[in-house]
Amino acid sequence: MCYGDEARPPQPPNPGPVGAHGPVVLSSPDGTEFDGYFAHPESPTGRGIVIFPDVRGLHVFYKELAESFAAAGLSALAFDYFGRTAGRGERGEDFAYREHVDALAFSDVRLDASTASSWLRAQGVGSLFTVGFCFGGAMSWRQAAASDDLRGSIGFYGVPSRVTDVADEITSPLQILAAGQDFTPVAEVEQFADRVRAHGAEVRMTVYPNAGHSFFDRSFGQHQADVEDAWRQMLAFIAEKTS
């Protein structure tokens, strides 16, 4: 998995007050109920972001990350992947996520993410983004082909092979934040970016040469400069696409 229970998301620059936040139960069009966790800024801005977790689904890191995005001025909703196979419930470190990932259909992730997008839009969000990490990074990029009227899709350390079947259908801008010491070669990620660009979509890619997988974690003190830059890159991307 990408983040254990000891990991904690870093705070954005100049964080503001967080308003309402907490768990929510979502329901996909096929009737599946699944868990989410939302957080709003104290003063909503009309901007929002859907958070795609890593392979363990919705656990504490992503609940706190929703609050971090709210502190950055976005209404945020993190959601769980495994309502169909594991039901609702906590995803602790003992959760046997691998069997559920193996049973997961990308089409169901897309459906549930679109449900999360609709929930945020019902809360007054007009400018909507996605962000994901590891498995979720690839799923966030896939969502750029889902016709959700997204302003942009952001992914940390995603694996391009999980996106190649829809790469030519991506329409909204992508932001790629890649770790130079990740198990996925940077050259493979660059090839994916070039393929998406070739079909007319914008791709903004930043590589952190000395960072490893899961570097976006405030407990990784040696990567603090990369973490701070990643926040700046994300918030600049979001600001540009909502201006």
129-243 CATH: 3.40.50.1820
Write the CB contacts of 40 (distance below 8 Å, at least 6 apart in sequence).
18, 19, 20, 21, 70, 75, 76, 123
How open is the CA angle 78-146-148, to the nearest 5 degrees? 70
Q: What's the pLDDT at 218? A: 74
Q: Is 9 exposed, middle or buried (0-12, 13-18, 19+ CB in 10 A)?
A: buried
Q: What is the pLDDT of residue 223?
A: 84
pTM here is: 0.97
Residue spans of the domains in the chain: they are 17-125, 129-243
Q: How far apart are CA 80 and CA 199, in angstroms?
A: 31
DSSP per-residue letters across the chain: ----TT--PPPPSS---EEEEEEEEEE-TTS-EEEEEEEEESS--SEEEEEE--TT-S-HHHHHHHHHHHHTT-EEEEE-S-TTTT-SS---TT--HHHHHHT--HHHHHHHHHHHHHHHHHTT--EEEEEEETHHHHHHHHHTTS-S--SEEEEES--GGGTGGGGGG--S-EEEEEETTSSS-HHHHHHHHHHHHHTT--EEEEEETT--TT---TT-GGGHHHHHHHHHHHHHHHHHHH-
Site of tokens 């990074």: 137
Q: How far apart are CA 231 and CA 69, in angstroms?
A: 10
Give the pLDDT confidence score for residue 222 in this predicted structure.
Answer: 74
Question: What CATH number should be reported for the domain whose range is 17-125?
Answer: 3.40.50.1820
Cβ 10 vs Cβ 218: under 8 Å: yes
pLDDT at site 2: 84
Q: What is the pLDDT of residue 1?
A: 62
Residues of the chain with pLDDT under 70: 1, 220-221
Residue 220: predicted pLDDT: 59
Q: Mean pLDDT for the chain?
A: 95
Assess contact for 135 and 101: CB atoms under 8 A. Answer: yes
pLDDT number for residue 28 = 97
